[in-house]
């Protein structure tokens, strides 16, 4: 079943050229889409339109067949994880994870229970009273993940969540993210510029260049049968 439908999406920031052009993608339930492409090609803008952090200039966006173009971000049932974690420095881990639930006026017991199950899943039980500055990079990224999963979102958007981590931790977090994805049965769109992440994590890869989708396919399809020279050299080149 189609979970997310993106139809003819465009983004114009000013009046000049669109930075996202005629973006078409139907994401199936529980798929893990990896969006790749060079810096500046429009990956973050695409995610931000889906999350409601940017307006959609043209086109339609549906979740479960409901038009979402105008829905306020907090009503979208989407959680987004950013590269820079975006944690609140003055709040401890518990309050950082709980933030989105408090905002949505969940009751105290539900908040407590959900924060504890998320922190347990992420191995953060012993860190709930710490402030972000007293955590390692990997732990901060886990808190950012915790803040997203605690809401049980249907849709997960991740914008280069591992790019601030060292190589070894990236490999470990990659498999943790896949584990969470399978366990919670989320539908995910994951942005990276790391070809290895794309090849190992994706159900399907979407390759973008200059705001335009170049190819959509399984990792082996885009690797073995690239649509054009750009896809071939981008996917084929080592990260």
Question: In the complex, which residues of this chain contact ligand ADP (CB under 6 A)?
Answer: 13, 19, 37, 39-45
Q: Which does 45 bind (CB under 5 to 8 A by kind): ligand ADP, Mg ion, none?
A: ligand ADP
CA–CA separation, 87 vs 93, rounded Å?
Answer: 9
Q: Which does 59 bind (CB under 5 to 8 A by kind): ligand ADP, Mg ion, none?
A: none
Distance CA 191, CA 104 (A): 27
Site string for Mg ion, 22-41 (x = CB under 5 A): --------------------
Which one of Mg ion, ligand ADP, none interacts with residue 215, CB within 5 to 8 A by kind?
Answer: none
Minimum distance of ligand ADP from residue 49's CB (angstroms):
10
User: Which position among 18, 41, 44, 101 is part of the footprint of Mg ion (CB under 5 A)?
Assistant: 44
Does residue 188 interact with Mg ion by CB under 5 A? no
* Closest CB 100 distance from ligand ADP, rounded Å: 23
Instruction: List residues near Mg ion by CB under 5 A.
Output: 44
């Amino acid at each position: 079943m189609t979970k997310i439908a993106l139809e003819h999406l465009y983004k114009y920031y000013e009046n000049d050229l669109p930075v996202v052009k005629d973006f078409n993608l139907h994401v199936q339930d529980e798929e893990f889409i990896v969006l790749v492409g060079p810096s500046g090609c429009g990956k973050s803008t695409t995610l931000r339109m889906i999350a409601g952090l940017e307006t959609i200039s043209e086109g339609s966006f549906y979740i479960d067949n409901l038009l979402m173009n105008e829905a306020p971000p907090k009503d979208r049932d989407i959680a987004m994880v950013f590269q820079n974690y975006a944690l609140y420095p003055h709040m401890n881990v518990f309050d950082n994870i709980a933030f989105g639930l408090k905002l949505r006026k969940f009751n105290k017991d539900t908040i407590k229970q959900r924060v504890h199950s998320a922190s347990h899943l992420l191995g953060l039980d012993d860190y709930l009273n710490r402030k972000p500055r007293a955590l390692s990079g990997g732990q901060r990224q886990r808190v950012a993940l915790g803040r997203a999963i605690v809401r049980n979102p249907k849709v997960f958007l991740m914008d280069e969540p591992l790019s601030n981590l060292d190589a070894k931790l990236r490999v470990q977090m990659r498999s943790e993210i896949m584990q969470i994805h399978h366990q919670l049965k989320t539908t995910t769109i994951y942005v990276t510029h790391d070809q290895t992440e794309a090849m190992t994590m994706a159900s399907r890869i979407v390759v973008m260049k200059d705001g335009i989708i170049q190819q959509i396919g399984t990792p082996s399809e885009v690797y073995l049968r690239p649509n054009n020279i750009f896809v071939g050299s981008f996917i084929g080149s080592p990260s």
